Amino acid sequence: KNWENIWIAYSYRYDSMMLDIGCGEGPKRGDIGLDIRKTSSVDILADARMLPFRDESFVHVYSSHLIEHF
């Protein structure tokens, strides 16, 4: 959990947007939360396999406990 806090602090240090893919119901780690199911943390409803963003839209992308759902 400590590496997570360090990584998040590092990303904000360089003033860049971070996308949290698969944010679910937990606390959102990035500026924008994306998930396939609507919850209070979700900003964008979308499938992680087909992201609705142009290439290089984000410098940092965070995802935790997502891969096992595919």
Domain spans of the chain? 2-69
| Interval 12-34: pLDDT, tens | 666 667 889 888 887 777 788 99
The mean-pLDDT minimum among 5-9, 46-50, 64-68 falls in: 5-9
Query: Can you give the pLDDT at residue 8?
Result: 65
Average pLDDT over every residue of 52-69: 83
The mean-pLDDT minimum among 8-12, 30-34, 45-49, 58-62 falls in: 8-12
Cross-strand bridge partners of residue 20: 33, 62
Instruction: Please say whether the dihedral angle defined by the alpha carbons of residues 5, 31, 17 and 12, taken in this order, is positive or negative.
Output: negative
Average pLDDT over every residue of 44-67: 88
Question: How far from the centroid of its chain's Cα atoms is residue 50's Cα?
Answer: 14
